[in-house]
Structure 1
Amino acid sequence: MIVTAIISEYNPLHDGHRYHIEETRRITECDRLIVIMSGSFTQRGEPAIFSKWSRAEAAVRAGADLVLELPATYAAAGAERFAFGAVSVLNGLDLVNFLSFGSESGDVEYLRRLGTFFADESPAYQSALKQLLDRGVSFPSAREQAAAVLLGTDLSSLSLPNDALAVEYIKSLIRTGSAITPVAIKRRGSAYNSTDIAGQFPSALAIRTAMENGMSGAPYSKETPVFAASMFPAVQWALRSASAQYLCGIAEVSEGLEHRLLSSCATARSYAELIGSVKSKRYTMARVKRIVANVFLGITKELNRTIDAAPLYARVLAVKKESSDLLSLLSKTSRIPVVTSPKHTTHPGLLLDIHATDMRSCLLHPSLPSGLDYTTPLLVTESVL
């Protein structure tokens, strides 16, 4: 049996994602397709626009056989931690042959070369990177510049979101000694950061922006969408109640950024204003958004260390009715627990996933009850393909 995996957010799932799923099945000729998907919060540091169950169901209807939840400790993190967490879960299943990802270049050998370079982290690279960071260059830009000098080639593709994440996937595959083979599918349609809603394949960002500006979410889900700006009152309260010492312990906060957060929250009157005032040449908007989400969720460096020290797990959100045999197969092959219900769990990672869903539920009007992870059953869905 050939099993292929996709790491995703599907925020929301759109025609470009359907194309990727179809191409993945065609190119890898897989018998089963497993998706590992961000749950209630995403790598941009924002609440998912629709619930993880709605998005998991959409993934099955689009062609996935099984949908797993990427633990929140990884899902709401930077690219390196996001990729490492997802790859580690897939490794733990001991069943996956291929990892398919979207790519602006579509050149897996080029991406493999970069992934190998960054996995090695030579002393020369570390020295060049440190010099650039010390000059106030943001990490993504510093990484690109340092690698370009040492490799003697243009690495502008590292500024392209899909290629940058693909390099992190390959780096994680190498560092974990994974037997999974990477497969790059050339991205079609609008650019990842495009807000143009027109065209055959508008980006997820364009769709979210259009919804925030009043477009109906009905084509994508019957649920009410949730937006990052709705976190602001709670974040404002949390920041104004916090000490610099506490904020210093929040995940991704470093180099005195806690003082910048305290200063900005004293005057910011909206989520956008808060993010804009903290963002700088060194601190990217994505990183600032993640830090704000970490404040909202209470994700500290210590909590992440505790979760990292605990065993990995694979939380199942949805399965295709015709592919339910995958669950029994995973019970035999998986080296990590396969969780279909989190009831009675004491695992710090699962507890954070549950907490993230509860906090997202607070952002709806009216809010949803807490404990949805305990009351929502495993989705068994029929594909429409």
Structure 2
Amino acid sequence: MKTIGIIAEFNPFHKGHEYLINQCKKELNADYCVVVMSGDFVERGAPSIISKFERAKMALSSGADVVLELPIYYSLGSAEFFASGAISLLDKLGVVDYLCFGSENPDLGSLNMIADVLTKEPNAYKEALAKHLKQGASYPVSRKEALKEYFDQDNADFPVAFDILDNPNNILAIEYLKALKRTNSRITPYTIKREGADYHSEEITKISSAQGIRNSILSDRGKSSSVLKDQIPDAALGYFTKYQGRFLDSNDFSDLLYYKLISEKNSGYTKYLDVNEDLSNRILTNLESFTDIDSFCDCLKTKNLTYTRISRCLFHILLNITKENMESYKRDGFTAYGRILGSRKESSALLASLRENAALPMLYRLKDAQKTLSPLELTLFNETLTGSLIYNRIAGNNIGSEYRLKPVIL
């Protein structure tokens, strides 16, 4: 039995995702596809446009065989934490042979060269990175410039332009490779060239980016958007159009965040993940001008504080995602349980293999968490559930406690 693994947000699921799943299955002659998918909050620092259950159904209808939830500390983390949490989970499943992903640069050799440097962090690279950070450049810019200098000094034969570091899909690919190296994983990376529009593109094309589709849908807040039929696979479209909740964006959480910010203004915000003293002070200084999350991110943005990082940090504050807890989860090996959101009826052999081979507790029913998870694992599980509870409240999804829900089966 050959199984591929895919790490995704599917925000929303579209034809580019369908292509990735089925093309990788075809090229590798794989029997099954396991997906580790972000829950109700995503890596760019925002809520998912529709709930994790609908996105899981869409994926299962279009080629995925099992969908597992990536816990909130990683789904809402930086690219490094996102990759580390997801790779940790895939590796511990014990059934995944290949990690498949799309990238603008499908040359694994070049991506691996960069990943090696970022994993080993030789002195020449660290010194160059520190220099650029000290000069006030953002971390992404500093890292790119430091890598340029390192490869120049090393006289390495590096055939690919460094603009590959400007693309989020390439950056994620490098983080996946780093995480595989750090865990000494047996999983083999496999990449195909990404099809369709650029990650940040807002244009609607034959295969649009998830961002372009989100923007088109949110512009009318309705389900009649003309882009849906062209951009979402036929098998998945019904799950999207029948979704009963609201389509969410960051500003839907503005009032909750403002309450949290003013409630904790006397103590500051540096206990939260990724929030440093500079950002905490900027939040306090500009708090009176808060109107909504998007405009507040623009207000706080500086040369070395990017919009995405700020948005992510604000959701860390809102959802009580702390540095202390993240350090505990890292020491515990990142993801220490596997929650199944859904599976296909035809994938019973894969589920049986997971039960037999997984090196972590598999949660088919949430009530099993209380008796199978350690106190620390249960904390991560409950924090993820709390985030979803808030999400569903804002979205108007009257599903009640997730303890009453069973995994989706198609």
- Check whether TM > 0.5: yes
**Residues 21 and 63 of structure 1 are in contact (CA less than 8 Å); yes or no, is this contact kept in structure 2?**
yes
Supply the distance in 2 between the matched residues of 1:318 and 1:367 (Cα, whole angstroms).
18
**Partner residue, 2:295:** 273
| Higher share in helix | 2
**Residues 37 and 69 of structure 1 are in contact (CA less than 8 Å); yes or no, is this contact kept in structure 2?**
yes
Runs of 4+ in 1 over 3 A off after TM superposition: 215-220, 306-311, 366-370
Q: Is 2:232 aligned against 1:203?
A: no
Matches within 5 A, 1:1-385: 1-152=1-152, 154-197=161-204, 199-214=205-220, 216-217=222-223, 219=228, 220=237, 221=240, 222-223=242-243, 224-243=246-265, 245-310=267-332, 312-343=336-367, 345=370, 347-364=378-395, 366=396, 368=398, 370-371=400-401, 373-381=402-410
**Residues 338 and 361 of structure 2 are in contact (CA less than 8 Å); yes or no, is this contact kept in structure 1?**
yes
Question: Partner letter of residue 137 of structure 1?
Answer: A
Q: SS at 2:406's partner residue?
A: coil
**Residues 44 and 286 of structure 1 are in contact (CA less than 8 Å); yes or no, is this contact kept in structure 2?**
yes
Residue 324 of structure 1 deviates from its aligned partner by: 2.0
**Residues 6 and 36 of structure 1 are in contact (CA less than 8 Å); yes or no, is this contact kept in structure 2?**
yes
Distance 1:305 1:108, change over 3 A: same
Supply the distance in 1 between the matched residues of 2:345 and 2:60 (Cα, whole angstroms).
9
Give TM-score scaled by structure 2 length: 0.89
Supply the distance in 2 between the matched residues of 1:139 and 1:244 (Cα, whole angstroms).
29
Residue 307 of structure 1 deviates from its aligned partner by: 3.2
Distance 1:183 1:249, change over 3 A: same
Give TM-score scaled by structure 1 length: 0.94
Identity over aligned pairs, percent: 32
**Residues 306 and 348 of structure 1 are in contact (CA less than 8 Å); yes or no, is this contact kept in structure 2?**
no
Residue 370 of structure 1 deviates from its aligned partner by: 4.4
Residue 309 of structure 1 deviates from its aligned partner by: 4.3
Supply the distance in 2 between the matched residues of 1:244 and 1:99 (Cα, whole angstroms).
45
**Residues 4 and 32 of structure 1 are in contact (CA less than 8 Å); yes or no, is this contact kept in structure 2?**
yes
Residue 249 of structure 1 deviates from its aligned partner by: 0.3
Structure 2 gaps, min length 5: 153-157, 229-236
Over residues 115-173 of structure 1, what are the superposed CA-to-partner deviations in whole Å (9 max), with x where a residue is unaligned? Answer: 11211111111111111111111111111110011113531111111011100000111
Question: Partner letter of residue 326 of structure 2?
Answer: N
Supply the distance in 2 between the matched residues of 1:322 and 1:244 (Cα, whole angstroms).
55
**Residues 268 and 284 of structure 2 are in contact (CA less than 8 Å); yes or no, is this contact kept in structure 1?**
no
Over residues 256-290 of structure 1, what are the superposed CA-to-partner deviations in whole Å (9 max), with x where a residue is unaligned? Answer: 21011122222122222101011111011111111
Distance 1:20 1:11, change over 3 A: same
Q: SS at 2:299's partner residue?
A: helix
Supply the distance in 2 between the matched residues of 1:290 and 1:324 (Cα, whole angstroms).
37
Residue 243 of structure 1 deviates from its aligned partner by: 2.8
**Residues 190 and 203 of structure 1 are in contact (CA less than 8 Å); yes or no, is this contact kept in structure 2?**
yes
